[in-house]
Structure 1
Amino acid sequence: MDNSKGFLGHPKPLLSLSFVELWERFSYYGIRPMLILFMSLAIADGGFGFSPEVASSIYGIFAGSLYLAALPGGYLADKVFGQKNATLIGAIIIAFGNFLLASSCFLGNKVFFVGLLFIVLGTGLFKTCASVMVGMLYPKGDSKRDSGFTIFYMGINIGSFIAPIICGAVKEKYGYHLGFAISGVGMLISTLLYYFHTLPEFKKYANHHKFESGFDTPQGDKRKPILYLSMSLFLIAFISFLAFFEFININPVYIAKNMIIGIIVISILYFLYLYFLAGLSNKDRKKLIIFIMLFIASAFFWSCFEQKPTSFNLFAKHYTNHTILGYEFPIEWFQSINPFTIIIFAPIISYFWIYMARKNREIDSFVKFSLGLILSALAFFIMYLAAKLVISTNSSVSPIYLISCFWVLSIAELCLSPVGLSIMSQIAPSKISSSVMGLWFVSVSLGNVVAGIVGGKVKADNVAQLPDIFMQFIIALIIVASVILISRKWVLKLLKD
């Protein structure tokens, strides 16, 4: 009997890793819906008084940087720290950043942005390693791999579900800063759980199955990565110093727009480095070609999906009725619809994938990926109808539009995001697995920055533009899904060869 098997026959560390990610996501999704609302809140009410464009652009920069940091974070995990230490260090830094947000009411508003910076740096180390560690648990070709990542994703969404409800309720009663503090408590729980439970369990499983990894021991020479790390931290500290003491004036909207170009250039250069200079075999290089196609599709998806905390959040504030039986519930509660749907449907869809495989009618990952894009287009069509109704009636619409949109987006996410992680864990060469996973999260970064720019257009005086904005997303998603479906046979043949 294999005592290393745990939940539903999956490797035992899967459940523990899911709980670690659950509390890390609680931390992030607790602060996420509050950021734009807090920054656009009037100064007299304790906020920054920023316009929707500025607040949304700052959020886009933050969220984009959060995932962009996964690129150097994955590199450092591979070359310097190993997954074990990178995850622990990242968790501690994230927790510190959360408590800086909470303490900004005492230490000044500038500390708030320092807290955001710490969360970015910590997440860069933490984010890739958790997904890589899940991938390590499954041998290549294991039919339970997609199902395992879906279970992992369900754990993430339990944290995402309870965070807006708890933090939003605390914010309504005690203010934004205590809401930020509750998020920090969630990150502390994640850190302690990882150190005292997940680490021993994962090591035991690795020794039992004798698989090789960079979990405990980094791959390669540390000297150059440490030099790069030192130079980068010095540059970040220098720019932060100039901004903190107002020696330079930072325009968030301008930065967000140029950040898109920067992310694209960095992604291309890093891909070329991996392709030509990472010492890969011809077989591994072919896999990277597949990666580029999915990277582009992922960026389109996340630029749409991340409208939830930006344009959809502002749509909820300006154009949606959020009163039930006389009770005006916190706007943040809309953000719990997505994870709640995933909690309910993740095991159902996970079982459906396995059921189809057992019947020899397995739906390949690229069809699942395309289905996610098509469903996202449907979600935006719902918002297109909602915006049209606001224009025609000149009044707020029923919350059923946002609820329906979030539900469809959630099913789309289940078809695309965990499957995308699973594909990456399969095609990523072992010697640069964290680096490839980091580059994958850059596509999420790009989507978040675009979402921040678009989100700022949703304000009380420009509802007439919303139908056109939503229709542009619909057209883009359908085009990208069509390209993947058309090239699917070629990609599967390339992987088989």
Structure 2
Amino acid sequence: MTELWERFSFYGIRPLLVLFMSATLLNGGLGFSKEEAAAIAGIFGGSLYLATLPGAWVADNFLGQNKSVLIGSIIIALGHLSIALSYYYTPMFFIGLALIVIGTGLFKTCASVMVGTLYKKDDPRRDSGFTIFYMGINLGGFIAPLVTGFLQVQYGWHLGFGIGGLGMLLALLIFVFKTMPDFKEFDEKVGISEAWNKPSKENKKAFWIVFVFVLAFFVFVFLILTGLIKPNALSLAKNMVSIVLWSAGAYFIYLFFFCSLNSQEKKNLIIFIVFFCASSVFWSVFEQQYTTYNFFADKLTNKNIFGYEVPTTWFQSINSLFIIIFAPIVGAIWVFLARKGFELSSLSKFALGLIFAALGFIVMAFATEQLISVNGGISKAQELIASGQGILASAWWIVLSFFFLTLGELCLSPVGLSIMSKIAPKLIQSQVMGLWFVSISVGNVMAGLIGGKANEENLADLSGLFYECVWILLIVAAVLFIFKKIIQKISSKE
């Protein structure tokens, strides 16, 4: 329930970001180009998951998982408040995004690690347990776009953004008055081998490192507000992929050589790199639902259902709805196969996730080609759609595509969380989980760059973009299958 309402706050504002920033000033938006809006959304998403690395370090060395979730929740709530207040002062919008990034960095990894502490490492229920946890995430993800989309259409952008703060407040209250007492009781009765309420190891320098970081953040905010720093979103997004990958690589080397790991733990880190790369590719296409898919739904899709024009943001609830429906089914399938002696390896599940995602993008490629065809070719289609007289694509194309993307996500994401909680060395478990979320960071930034190219004036390249995603996904899946036996020999855990 804590994660549900935290995700409500996040998924409530995220579908609005690109639409709000690209809306004209006359319509209450910021008036950015679609390329800039998509790039900023990608930077936000990428930074959000990149922040899990320092957040995890703070949890392991200074605060512990319990306090990290608590403090992270408070910071996220302040971020939503800042965004709501941006109605009066526009820079508060970006300060709010920065606060949400910092708070989520503390919250995200620790919430997942705390779930992992409830299971022994060889417990066959672990994957299914994380799948149930994933259902909670997506219940929040399902409700949020419906609520914020309706409020945005009826009452304006800022009330749509502001309602996310209410979700974060609920998450904070549930964590303080329910989750924390429950964990304490569980630990007293059953015993949790990993620490959940204190740092894995005490670091005497941690306080000053955190202090310097907080000071640097306020200085950076001051420089932006005074106009002394004027960041270029497109340039920053293009460079951010390299920055993230170099940061992750350097951090991996640090963990491998300087954290006193034994030989098996080092082998597990090598296995981690394989999953990291596959995950980055998956999320670079999956996270286009907030950029490419958002543009497609907003400009190229017939949203009229029984005479009512569905808000564009409502399409973002489809993925979460499918997860709520199919997560228990997929979880039950994994347990059933394991009991019958046909358990799929985690690597095989990953490959299946990539294949299902490829099918989702094939659907979108077909949808684009059909849209061009019924409107008489590319030039005619662009002309008719721009004038509001074109035949728009059926909403069922997006629904079908989300169905396949959801199956891919269920094969890959909760299983990935489970694997990370299982193979992570105890001393650095939050940091390994943080590195895992960095793969999602890479995907978010890439999705932002790709999504800026998707609009009604670029139909000629849109189907080609979808097919490129298909081939990339299938190639990575094939590589995983080809090297499956070699990877399994490296780790005795598989």
Same-fold call, TM cutoff 0.5: yes
| Structure 2 residue 436 is the aligned partner of structure 1 residue 440 | yes
| TM-score normalized with structure 1 length | 0.95
Per the TM alignment, residue 236 of structure 1 is displaced from its structure 2 partner at its CA by 2.3
Q: d(CA) in 1 for partners of 2:331 and 2:470?
A: 27
Secondary structure of residue in 1 paired with 2:290: coil
Q: Distance in 2 between matches of 1:77 and 1:456?
A: 35
> 2:334 aligned with 1:353, yes or no?
yes
Q: Deviations over 1:267-287 (max 9, x none)?
A: 100000000001111110010
Among candidates 239, 242, 254, match of residue 261 of structure 1: 242
User: In structure 2, what is the equivalent of residue 15 of structure 1?
Assistant: none
Q: Which residue of 1 aligns with 2:75?
A: 93
- 2:42 aligned residue (60, 63, 66): 60
Q: Report the equivalent of 1:8.
A: none
Q: Is the 8 A contact 2:337 2:343 kept in 1?
A: yes
SS of aligned partner of 2:202: coil
Q: Does 1:418 align with 2:414?
A: yes
Residue type matched to 2:105 in 1?
A: G
CA contact (8 A) 1:78 1:214 kept: no
Q: Which of 342, 346, 356 is 1:375 aligned to?
A: 356
Deviation at 1:405, TM superposition (A): 0.6
CA contact (8 A) 1:67 1:442 kept: yes
CA–CA separation in structure 2 for the residues paired with 1:128 and 1:193: 18
1:70 matched to which residue of 2? 52
Moved more, 33-42 or 386-395: 386-395
1:169 aligned onto 2:150: yes
Letter in 1 for 2:35: E
Quote the Cα distance in structure 2 between the aligned partners of 1:197 and 1:151.
18
The letter of the residue matching 1:402 is I
After TM superposition, where is structure 1 displaced by more than 3 Å over at least 4 residues in a row? none
2:378 paired residue number: none
Task: Verify: 1:236 aligned to 2:234, yes or no.
Answer: no
Q: 1:114 aligns with which of 88, 95, 103?
A: 95
Match of 2:164 among 183, 188, 202: 183
Residue 290 of structure 2 corresponds to 309
Query: Any conservation in 1 of the 2:284–2:443 contact (CA below 8 Å)?
Result: yes
The AA in structure 1 aligned to 2:450 is V
**Aligned twin of 1:155:** 136
Q: Tell me which of 285, 289, 309 is aligned to 1:328.
A: 309
Matched letter for residue 473 of structure 1:
C
CA distance in 2, matches of 1:225, 1:83: 15
Stretches of structure 2 lacking an aligned partner (at least 5 in a row): 376-380, 382-390
Tell me the residue number matched to 1:193: 174
Deviates more, 1:484-493 or 1:287-296: 484-493
Decide whether the 8 Å contact of 1:39 with 1:48 is kept in 2. Answer: yes
Q: 2-side partners of 1:156 and 1:448: how far apart?
A: 18
1:457 aligns with 2:453: yes
> What's the offset of the Cα at 1:209?
2.1
The number of residues matched between the two structures is 478
**C-alpha distance in 2, partners of 1:79/1:194?**
22
Contact 2:8 2:167 in 1 (8 A): yes
In structure 1, stretches of 5+ residues that fail to align are 1-18
1:230 deviates by 2.1
Residue 475 of structure 2 is aligned to residue 479 of structure 1? yes
The farther-off stretch of 408-417 and 232-241 is 232-241
| One-letter identity of the residue aligned with 1:155 | G
2:491 to 467, 488, 495: 495
The 8 Å contact of residues 5 and 168 in structure 2, kept in 1 or not, is answered as yes
- In structure 2, how many angstroms separate the alpha carbons of the residues matched to 1:458 and 1:424? 34
Provide the C-alpha distance between the structure 2 equivalents of 1:433 and 1:276, rounded to a whole number of angstroms. Answer: 16
Are residues 1:399 and 2:395 paired? yes
Do the aligned residues in 1 keep the contact of 2:356 with 2:404 (CA within 8 Å)? yes
Measure, in 2, the Cα distance between the counterparts of 1:214 and 1:244. 41
Q: C-alpha separation between the residues in 2 aligned to 1:170 and 1:305?
A: 26
Q: In the alignment, which residue of structure 2 is the partner of 1:427?
A: 423
C-alpha contact 1:275 1:285 (8 A) present in aligned 2: yes
Distance 1:421 1:277 in 2: 24
Work out the CA distance in 1 between the residues paired with 2:261 and 2:207. Answer: 23
- 8 Å contact kept, 2:201–2:427: no
CA RMSD in angstroms, aligned pairs only: 1.1
1:30 partner amino acid: G
Q: Residue type of the partner of 1:62? A: F
Q: Distance in 1 between matches of 2:338 and 2:191?
A: 28
Contact 2:200–2:426 (CA<8 Å) still a contact in 1? no
Alignment partners' CA distance in 1, 2:252 and 2:429: 13
Residue by residue, what CA displacement relative to the aligned partner does 1:362-395 show, whole Å, maximum 9, x if unpaired? 1222111110000001101111111212222224
Opposite residue 22 of structure 1, the aligned amino acid is: L
TM-score scaled to structure 2, two decimals? 0.95
Distance 1:414 1:348 in 2: 10
Distance 2:324 2:225 in 1: 41
Q: Which of 10, 18, 36 is residue 36 of structure 1 equivalent to? A: 18
2:267 to 265, 286, 298: 286
What is the alpha-carbon distance in structure 1 between the residues aligned to residue 26 and residue 420 of structure 2? 48
Q: Distance in 1 between matches of 2:257 and 2:296?
A: 46
Shift of 1:225: 2.2
